Amino acid sequence: MKFPEKRMRRLRGNKLIREIISETRLHPSNFIYPIFVKEGLTGLEKEEIPSMPGIFRHSIKSAVQECQKACDLGIKGVILFGIPEKKDEVGTGGWSDDGIIQKTIRAIKEKGIDILVIGDVCMCEYTSHGHCGILRKDGSIDNDVTNEYLVKTALSQVRAGVDIVAPSDMMDGRVSAIRKALDSEGFTNVPIMSYAAKYASAFYGPFRDAASSAPAFGDRKSHQMDPPNAREALVEIELDIEEGADIVMVKPALAYLDVLRRARERFDIPLAAYNVSGEYSMIEAASQNGWIDRKRIILEVLTAIKRAGADIILTYYAPLVAGWLS
Ligand code: PBG
């Protein structure tokens, strides 16, 4: 059938008909809300992140409150990022049992909030040099030694009660190392959500500002993926699945929707996408200038990420959009 019998506009005439044929629907239950927790903030203190208007570094108490808010809005998971008071060469604040994240996990769990607490497992927020691992004398990252520290980090988070661990460091072999360690301590049912295809992206700029985790020298190109490569991302994802990842992630989301789509077509396990800090801040900056319709852009962007194939979206907009959707 073709025009004039076939008319595509028939199904676009009003909101009801558009909604009834909608192929993609956002729902708060698919959002994960990233929360920054800063050691040294007290009471309900929180400080706004200059490059991420509307997003804060929270005290533990304030982070717990933020989790409760997210839970009340129907969000099922938060992912925690820590900003320690002291950083050192081996990122002690990331894996010690009284680290800021471990304390926050316990505080959320003590309150009994009905939300999945996910621990980001990486070293860059905790190392004095800002790199994602343990450095050799020549300044390069020692992959296998780093894995031992990532294992320590994951174990300390799980002992504190975290529900899911999410390694974001991009070292080779870290998923199997973490899986083995968790299993050997009896944590066989704690899932791993791996940042499987994480690109060396300029879109993380505001996050590094938020977490003061920019590398003191060099960059992350020796471990994070090179933006031109998509087939390589499928290999990364496949390896992580073989190593035991239960959920895999593509990051960033917007500039990598093709990767997300290809991953969706190839793999049948749950797929997450991270709508990262730079994607957030660009929308906020343009909105503040009155250049774009903020609400429509946010919904369009998140819908695109879901349409491309994401089951789960990590987004700083989680509470805002959950509110809109309710
Ligand atoms: C590493 C990590 C980063 C992000 C999440 N986990 C930063 C990096 O790789 O430099 C970025 C998230 C964002 O930009 O929103 N711990």
pLDDT digits (tens, 9 = 90+) for 158-187: 999 999 999 999 999 999 999 999 999 999
Q: Decide if 150 contacts 171 (C-beta within 8 A).
A: yes
Q: Interhelix angle for 318-325 vs 60-72, to 10°?
A: 30
- Residue 301 is predicted with a pLDDT of 98
Q: The domain containing residue 87 runs over which residues? A: 25-325
Q: What is the DSSP letter of 126?
A: T
Any domain includes 18:
no
Kindly give the residue spans of alpha helices, DSSP state H, lying in 46-85: 60-72
Any domain includes 195:
yes
Spatial separation of the C-alpha atoms in residues 71 and 87, rounded to whole Å: 32
- Residue 216 is predicted with a pLDDT of 93
- Residue 55 is predicted with a pLDDT of 98
Max alpha carbon distance in the chain (Å)? 73
- SS3 state at 125: coil
Tokens 């396990």 locate to 269
Q: Decide if 202 contacts 213 (C-beta within 8 A).
A: no
Any domain includes 3:
no
Residue type, 187: F
The rounded average pLDDT for each run of 10 residues, N- to C-terminus, in the chain (326 residues) is 97 98 98 98 98 98 98 98 97 97 98 98 96 96 97 98 98 98 98 98 96 94 97 98 98 98 98 98 98 98 98 98 97
- Residue 306 is predicted with a pLDDT of 98
Residue with CA closest to ligand 1 atom 14: 204
Residue of 55, 81, 153, 168 to mutate, ligand 1, most atoms within 8 A of C-beta: 168
Any domain includes 10:
no
CA-closest candidate to residue 297, choices 243, 256, 254: 254
- Residue 35 is predicted with a pLDDT of 98
Q: Report CA(82)–ligand 1 centroid distance (Å).
A: 11
Q: Report CA(207)–ligand 1 centroid distance (Å).
A: 6
Q: Decide if 102 contacts 113 (C-beta within 8 A).
A: no
pLDDT in tens, 112-166: 999 999 999 999 999 999 999 999 999 999 999 999 999 999 999 999 999 999 9
CATH classification at residue 268? 3.20.20.70
- Residue 118 is predicted with a pLDDT of 98
Tell me how many domains the chain contains. 1
Any domain includes 194:
yes
Any domain includes 15:
no
Spatial separation of the C-alpha atoms in residues 153 and 82, rounded to whole Å: 12
Any domain includes 8:
no
- Residue 269 is predicted with a pLDDT of 98
Q: Which of 76, 198, 221, 306 is catalytic?
A: 198
Query: What's this model's pTM, rounded to 2 decimal places?
Result: 0.97
Tokens 């998140």 locate to 302
Any domain includes 19:
no
Spatial separation of the C-alpha atoms in residues 42 and 39, rounded to whole Å: 8
Spatial separation of the C-alpha atoms in residues 318 and 326, rounded to whole Å: 12
